[in-house]
Structure 1
Amino acid sequence: MLQLCLACTYSYSSDLNRVAKSVRPALCLSLSKRPCAMNRFQTLLLAVAAVAGSVSAAPRQITSLDFDWRFHRGDLPGVLLDHSTSQDSSRALDLLGLGYDDSAWQRVDVPHDYIVEGAFDPQVDNQHGCLPVEPGWYRKTISIPAADQGRRLWLEFDGVYRESQTWLNGHFLGRHVSGFTSFRYDVTEVAKPGTNNELVVRVDPRRFEGWWYEGGGIYRHTRLVSLAPVHVSPWGVQVMATVSHPRNGTQADARLAIITTIANDAAAAADATVLSEVIDSTGDEVTTERTTHHLVPKGDFEFRQSFALPKAHLWSCERPYLYRLRTSVSVLGEIVDEITTDFGVRTIRFDPNRGLFLNGRPVKLQGTCNHQDFAGVGVALPDRIHAFRVQKLKEMGANAWRCSHHVMASELLEACDRLGMLVIAENRHLDDSPEILGELESLVRRDRNHPSVVIWSISNEEKEQGSELGARQGRAMVGLIRQLDETRPITAAMNNGIGQGLTGVIDLQGFNYHPETYDKIHRELPKKPLVATEIAAAVGTRGVYARQPFTKPKDQARYLGNPALCQVAAYDVNAPDWAETAEVAWKAIAERPWMAGGFVWSGFDYRGEPTPFEWPAISSQYGIMDTCGFPKDAYYYYQSWWSEHPVLHLFPHWNWRGREGEEIPVWVYSNCQTVELFLNGTSLGAQAMKPNSHLEWSVKYAPGELVAKGRHNGKAFETTVETTGEPAAIMLEPDRTALTADGADISLVTVKIVDDQGRTVPVATNAVTLRVTGAGKLLGVGNGDPICHESDKGDQRGAFNGLCLAIVQSCRTPGPMAIRADSPGLKSAVAALEAR
């Protein structure tokens, strides 16, 4: 039985600014030998001169570099990226310096995905979305204050896809291969405080890391960090807790163990004091601890503190309680660095016969697998889209998110922390090479502190997963994780070789698909907790109910849908031959108490991997929601059995002109005990609902009104589907109207085509032109159509089955804004928003 108790944290110095990993190796020194009194006096004088009372001793300053970049798509004629260009600043190209004329380059802000701006091409790999991929160049002028002279200066990148090369003032800083891990450069020696500095980044996304759409560009946040010589190291705060006797799963006495790594980059030794203050959600200080240690020059030291947190509020999916740790570093009584760390206290335990226990209570993992892709923006998701996606899944009843198949944005995990979503954090590749182990270390160091993260996954469906070589590679990866974090179990998502290879080195047996093998695996691995890391992979197109049978050459499965339009029916009847329908997949999990849970492939559609079609399809159809986050009918299947509130969902739509008298399959997803169906007031019979199932009627079509009436715990509920009129108007529904005037906040505006009674017309395809005025801009558009080739960055989008999406982003100046939608023959719509 595996039992883990911990407090999990994440560190930041402002809401959007994370500390990234240093490119220099950390140096940890033992201080068992103390200097003599005279040396300590000399050290004190040096410390006074080097640290205290000077500008260089001020706490860290963080400057976002997200705005005002220049971008050029493609490589530049005559630019030779040889050793002299990269390494010898005296021979640096004009491109790398201040004098280069980039006035013709595109003005962009980051996060930025330039691949999504391209035009779809049937000659381009459809696994990656049929969008051309080529290198790109970024340039930005940075003004560094003169006051930063003598301070440490870092450039931080949260994510660049891919194979980036970076220069500052013509000096080559380095290469970073991975498109998913965060990285930083110490630019203290090449930066020029008091004047302008030129930052240049080249990216080359042509060598893919996966088989799905991966985008390209500086697609996560960037920043400049200025620090005193004595400071908290990158990802330098770790909080762990020993928890005893949870009270009803909501409170427990805890003991915190805090490890804070402090770096002294000065040439002089210093005595540093770390003050750790725990603050509750109301802002009240709960407890503090102060520790002082001697720091040698150019070294790091781990401050270890331990103190009680009585009657701690426990973090859970239903009540994601977060504490705040304020860490202050002082030298000679002056604060030289300060960061805050939000953390949660909770326990996790995996049992081979009873599954997962969170804070002593059984919890079934009701999860989804997700890529980092969304309509209108590609992989360059604004922070609020991360939160939107988590919230939509929470509303469905999901309590878990698998990061497929790589390091995700910190903002996603922060949303999971705040909203109560459990996470499998997954590494991209299985290997024991220095490069891959370095990526794994980056993942664990950055994300080990999130209370939402409950499992590490070292790989997904790797070639060597069942071999002895895979076991050796996995053993090295598991050993590295253990050095960095002993508080979480480790798994691997395996689709063959189970019982061999990685099975011998991981804590939780992860497996993908094939529910017919679950019982056999449990018998053969009776002491191993089990989790279905990938299930279902059912396919369906939102709002499509055509049922023409077809097959595809690469797949032996039979499908129902409209193959001419690359559409599969939204009824739960379609899955590849290696996958299962939603109902089959979830029943296999729900009926086995020893199964910790399952992760549906996938929560959202994503570009690329357009199974079961080829061109003109350009996106997948596995999602419970489409690329815009509009729910498909399957959303309500999971909601029926994953949530506690009453659900009664009736489909399909009831607009079947020309099919009067034909039999139409009518389905109901519900957790009501019984459901009765009516057509135009006439009962078509009542049926009892079996757990984790659905109900069906075959109904002869007649225009009018379908009504489903159900009873849930003795209360009556009903839902209606009506035959609508023709499209008459546009309706705009912003998910929020008040935005922060920071140039990054967004509103997701649902665009509906409605009839003269305001009802969404479920088959409408009207083209809509969108325009934003005032203190905002149109960031992107989408509609969820898997064969739509319109630009996500245009101002026009055709509705797909009655809906499309506009993403409005604020400017950095407060003021009102408005979005207007027009379509020939329809009444226009305007929605008012405001940036504050």
Structure 2
Amino acid sequence: MRYIYILCFLLISGFANAQNARKTESFNAGWKFYLGDEPNAKEAAFNDSKWRSLNLPHDWSIEGPFDEKHSTGQNEGGLPAGIGWYRKTFTVPASAKGKHLFIDFDGVYRNSEVWINGHLLGTRPNGYISFEYELTEHLKFGAQNVIAIKVDNSQQPNSRWYSGSGIYRNVWLVTKNSLHIDHWGIQLTTPIIKDKQATVELAISVKNAEARINGDKNAIVVFPLQVKTTVYDATNKQVASNITFANMTDDIERQRIFQAIHIPNPKLWSTNLPYIYRVRVQLQNGTQLVDEQTINTGIRTFNFDAVKGFSLNGIPTKINGVCMHHDLGVLGAAVNTRAIERQLQILKDMGCNAIRTSHNPPAPELLDLCDRMGFLVMDEAFDMWKKKKNKFDYAVDWDKWHVQDLQDQILRDRNHPSVFVWSIGNEIREQRDSTGITIGRELVDIVKQLDKTRPVTSALSDADPTKNFIYQSGALDLVGLNYHQEVYADFPKNYPGQKFIGTEQMSALESRGFYDEPTDTTRFWPQSSKEKYTRGNPEMAVTAYDNVAAYWGSTHETTWKIIKKYPFLSGMFVWTGFDYLGEPTPYPWPARSSYFGIVDLAGFPKDVYYMYQSEWTNKPVLHLLPHWNWQPGKTVDIWAYYNNADEVELYLNGKSLGIRKKQGDDLHVVWKVKYEAGTLKAISRKDGKIVKTEQVVTAGEPYQIKLNADRSTIKADGKDLSFVTVTVLDKQGNPVPNADNLIRFNIEGAGVLKAVDNGSQTNLQSFQSKQCKLFSGKCLVIIQSGQKKGNIAVTATGNGLKSASLGLIGG
């Protein structure tokens, strides 16, 4: 017979000071970095005094020069990779003894090895996954400790796009009591949502870090658990709470506790109104708090239907999405919340309501922002399975790591209201043989074991249902198709009873501000898989008229017309929202970034941005292209994107050139105009009344610089950013569209120059330079705040130009 003792938490080893609950703090500051291999750096006594000091997140590749000879190659932008070491010395107070300390990494690219005081904690090859190690066993309490991380990105190629290198996402030091809520140990679902009440269900995994797994079974200690959950609305008002009691014995390492909370008159989360509730979970014994976690969540319902398409909260909704790689352009892969927020703001203003995280788990900050800003997210896991796409890619690590990596992704991300679809792969090569059936079923089963509330898809590049083995597995909830827009209209016939989602579309190509004719025919660059690169013009640019695409895709208008037309087509994800580093189709070196984006690498919209804005929003849109600086007598195709109007009338120097109206499924109207200097003016009208007016003016010679900051006040936290757009004007204040002046920058005060760029796919100048050449009349300078409050002065100068100054505040 076993003897059972009931004791309070404070009498159990490790539960002393239980009122001091979990503490999570940034572990980003005060690191030392060395680019190169130094095997002895794992030892605590190693002398790193000559190493570079820096704060995380950090991407060393983005700091290097562009070079075609780098092992990363053109697909990764020709930036350096290699091996790097990070070390940090820190003190753990003696008062922390009895606690359990963990280090959490949001992402390290790639092949990381983590050492604490000379002891190896573990390795993780996947560069996009988040992971945690416990430090406790090897710590010196009341003394200095050294953590060392080796990052090995030397085996190339391992990616089809720019990956970055280093500890490029945030790092956290977490202190817990012996009894605590497990890592990613809370699952929150909303199974019942009605007008007057929503039910929130929680499954909470409680861990006893000092469980007597192999101890004396004749004396089992039982202690009572109390879980108190409180829900707060967006105004921080408490709207619901519940307390659940349970018992746990000290020979059990983990136990799950289930709880239900009823929220009255719930406000629903949507892409138009992303209402967020805050859920606080407290693990305690009486008045003794052992652990506490807070989760932001949203209450929403959604549905995919084989006939009606997608609905959100019962409202039919097209998924107007874009694919996004993880790099932040000139900032590289290093996570910066403001930079991600800026990208999302630009896309939101276009009418975008969904993001596909191509082709890997995203930074947690992206999901947090999508929750708050109202974006649906297709959360994607893999770009390859066992069959490789590059010599040293994740296929090398598949057998050992894919189960844990996928589990960790689902556990980490499943509470985000923005996440509405899981994708287990992109254009996986196993779709063409029977291994796709086995692996597809395995991966979907892993997802469903952890989350049954969201559908699972895989982005399929083979549209023939009789030949695609991943589809034949029967495991997918949604048929996700990449390209092959020619089969979309017949989807119900080819995939009877199946639900559609367009996982990747378009691959149209543009360079911002560059134009050539004719515009009434579609060009495919390259024209086939045998023609890898095309030299279309000496500038290595692609016209910004929407009439050029890669052979596997289409122009923007072509596919959107089809998606728009049929309700059973739930929506699509355009390839891509922003240009990204690497994969510079269709040109060879020195092209080093993509031409696919609706927005260029610097964050400047291309003209097709306004086509989407006219289709995806209700705000009045009237956009003319191209500019109006040409050789006399040249015939120019004038396009206009517009909405909320019946017609557009075009004027040249006050003379009407005629009225144009969209016919059928047209998305723009066209005039052919013989160029003469002056003013080109467009007026859109509805029912005879003016809706909007826009004009483009012939600009004179470059005369003066203009600076415009997206924000004039930034936080003095050493991380916040102000994105300053630089343009050159003529004497009359008109932007000069073809200006290519070299602009030099000087920054004084409480900030620094973080990076520069101009959006050109062939710009090989270092992003860390203090000067930048304009491309199509624009460039960008990014100012980063310092750690202290104060004024920041930005000055821009150029030969023969009137300089410009701008004042910012770091506060």
Interval of TM-score (by shorter of Structure 1 and Structure 2): over 0.9
Report how far residue 49 of structure 1 moved.
5.1
Match of 1:50 in 2: 13
Report how far residue 433 of structure 1 moved.
3.5
Distance 1:758 1:307 in 2: 60
Q: 1:464-483 residue pairs with structure 2 within 5 A?
A: 464-483=430-449
Distance 1:75 1:51 in 2: 39
User: Are 1:71 and 2:33 counterparts?
Assistant: yes
Q: Is the 8 A contact 2:480 2:500 kept in 1?
A: yes
Match of 1:6 in 2: none
Larger mean Cα displacement after TM superposition, 261-270 or 589-598: 261-270
Q: Is the 8 A contact 2:228 2:282 kept in 1?
A: yes
Report how far residue 732 of structure 1 moved.
1.6
Report how far residue 281 of structure 1 moved.
1.0
* Counterpart residue type for residue 230 of structure 2: E
Distance 1:222 1:682 in 2: 62
Percent same amino acid among aligned pairs? 39
Q: Indicate how the Cα distance of structure 1 residues 99 and 815 shifts in structure 2: closer, same or farther if over 3 A, else same.
A: farther
Match of 1:609, SS state, is coil
Report how far residue 253 of structure 1 moved.
2.6
User: Are 1:490 and 2:456 counterparts?
Assistant: yes
User: Are 1:507 and 2:461 counterparts?
Assistant: no
Match of 1:623, SS state, is coil
User: Are 1:206 and 2:174 counterparts?
Assistant: no
User: Are 1:377 and 2:331 counterparts?
Assistant: yes
Q: Is the 8 A contact 1:144 1:193 kept in 2?
A: yes
User: Are 1:602 and 2:546 counterparts?
Assistant: no
Match of 1:634 in 2: 608
Match of 2:646 in 1: 673
Report how far residue 559 of structure 1 moved.
11
Q: Is the 8 A contact 2:710 2:723 kept in 1?
A: yes
User: Are 1:229 and 2:186 counterparts?
Assistant: no
Distance 1:101 1:830 in 2: 44
Distance 1:326 1:773 in 2: 43
Match of 2:719, SS state, is coil
User: Are 1:810 and 2:785 counterparts?
Assistant: yes
Report how far residue 555 of structure 1 moved.
5.4
User: Are 1:739 and 2:714 counterparts?
Assistant: yes
Report how far residue 133 of structure 1 moved.
1.8
Distance 1:228 1:558 in 2: 57
Distance 1:692 1:321 in 2: 36
User: Are 1:342 and 2:296 counterparts?
Assistant: yes
Distance 1:404 1:726 in 2: 43
* Counterpart residue type for residue 213 of structure 1: Y
Match of 2:4 in 1: 39
Report how far residue 165 of structure 1 moved.
0.9
Q: 1:11-410 residue pairs with structure 2 within 5 A?
A: 39-41=4-6, 43-44=7-8, 47-48=10-11, 50=13, 54-55=16-17, 57-76=19-38, 79=39, 93=40, 95-124=41-70, 125-207=73-155, 208-245=157-194, 251=195, 253-267=197-211, 270-297=223-250, 299-410=253-364
Match of 1:465, SS state, is helix
Larger mean Cα displacement after TM superposition, 269-278 or 699-708: 269-278
Larger mean Cα displacement after TM superposition, 264-273 or 630-639: 264-273
TM-score, normalization by structure 1: 0.89
Match of 1:10 in 2: none
Match of 1:462 in 2: 428
CA RMSD across the alignment: 2.1
Distance 2:698 2:535 in 1: 22
Report how far residue 155 of structure 1 moved.
0.7
What per-residue deviation string (whole Å, max 9, x for no partner) do you get for residues 323-355 of structure 1? 110111112421121111111000011100110
Distance 1:546 1:716 in 2: 30
Q: Indicate how the Cα distance of structure 1 residues 132 and 167 shifts in structure 2: closer, same or farther if over 3 A, else same.
A: same
Distance 1:214 1:65 in 2: 23
Report how far residue 790 of structure 1 moved.
0.5
Distance 2:744 2:207 in 1: 55
Distance 1:235 1:288 in 2: 21
Report how far residue 756 of structure 1 moved.
2.5
Q: Is the 8 A contact 1:356 1:363 kept in 2?
A: yes
Q: Indicate how the Cα distance of structure 1 residues 790 and 712 shifts in structure 2: closer, same or farther if over 3 A, else same.
A: farther
* Counterpart residue type for residue 487 of structure 2: T
* Counterpart residue type for residue 385 of structure 1: A
Distance 2:173 2:526 in 1: 51
User: Are 1:453 and 2:419 counterparts?
Assistant: yes
Q: 1:747-826 residue pairs with structure 2 within 5 A?
A: 747-826=722-801
Distance 1:692 1:306 in 2: 51
What per-residue deviation string (whole Å, max 9, x for no partner) do you get for residues 452-478 of structure 1? 111111111011124321011010111
* Counterpart residue type for residue 50 of structure 1: S
Q: Is the 8 A contact 1:129 1:618 kept in 2?
A: yes
Larger mean Cα displacement after TM superposition, 541-550 or 328-337: 541-550
Q: Indicate how the Cα distance of structure 1 residues 107 and 401 shifts in structure 2: closer, same or farther if over 3 A, else same.
A: same
Q: Is the 8 A contact 1:741 1:813 kept in 2?
A: yes
Q: 1:543-622 residue pairs with structure 2 within 5 A?
A: 543-547=513-517, 563-622=537-596
Q: Is the 8 A contact 1:275 1:328 kept in 2?
A: yes
Q: Indicate how the Cα distance of structure 1 residues 628 and 252 shifts in structure 2: closer, same or farther if over 3 A, else same.
A: farther
User: Are 1:523 and 2:489 counterparts?
Assistant: no
Q: Indicate how the Cα distance of structure 1 residues 115 and 66 shifts in structure 2: closer, same or farther if over 3 A, else same.
A: same
Match of 1:568, SS state, is coil
Match of 2:299, SS state, is strand
Q: Is the 8 A contact 2:14 2:98 kept in 1?
A: no
Report how far residue 57 of structure 1 moved.
4.7
What per-residue deviation string (whole Å, max 9, x for no partner) do you get for residues 628-657 of structure 1? 11000010011111111111000111112x
Match of 2:75, SS state, is helix
Q: Is the 8 A contact 2:310 2:570 kept in 1?
A: yes
Match of 1:413 in 2: 367
Match of 1:87 in 2: none
User: Are 1:694 and 2:662 counterparts?
Assistant: no
Distance 2:534 2:120 in 1: 55
Structure 1, gaps ≥5 residues long: 1-34, 80-92, 246-250
Distance 1:720 1:830 in 2: 28
Distance 2:89 2:266 in 1: 47
What per-residue deviation string (whole Å, max 9, x for no partner) do you get for residues 32-73 of structure 1? xxx97x6324x44x7425356x34651111221112222111
Match of 1:197, SS state, is strand
Match of 2:266, SS state, is strand
Match of 2:153, SS state, is coil
Q: Is the 8 A contact 1:724 1:755 kept in 2?
A: yes
What per-residue deviation string (whole Å, max 9, x for no partner) do you get for residues 751-789 of structure 1? 222222333211111112223222222221211111111
* Counterpart residue type for residue 469 of structure 2: G
Q: Indicate how the Cα distance of structure 1 residues 244 and 271 shifts in structure 2: closer, same or farther if over 3 A, else same.
A: closer
* Counterpart residue type for residue 678 of structure 2: G
Q: Indicate how the Cα distance of structure 1 residues 193 and 740 shifts in structure 2: closer, same or farther if over 3 A, else same.
A: farther
Report how far residue 519 of structure 1 moved.
3.0
Match of 1:475, SS state, is helix
What per-residue deviation string (whole Å, max 9, x for no partner) do you get for residues 169-195 of structure 1? 111111110000001111110122222
Distance 1:521 1:455 in 2: 20
* Counterpart residue type for residue 344 of structure 1: G
Distance 1:369 1:63 in 2: 32
Match of 1:664 in 2: 636
Q: Is the 8 A contact 2:684 2:691 kept in 1?
A: yes
Report how far residue 677 of structure 1 moved.
0.7
Match of 1:395, SS state, is helix
Aligned length: 775
What per-residue deviation string (whole Å, max 9, x for no partner) do you get for residues 366-395 of structure 1? 110110112321111311111111111110
Report how far residue 574 of structure 1 moved.
0.5
Q: Indicate how the Cα distance of structure 1 residues 375 and 829 shifts in structure 2: closer, same or farther if over 3 A, else same.
A: farther
Match of 1:608, SS state, is coil
What per-residue deviation string (whole Å, max 9, x for no partner) do you get for residues 388-423 of structure 1? 111111100111111100000011111111111111
TM-score, normalization by structure 2: 0.92
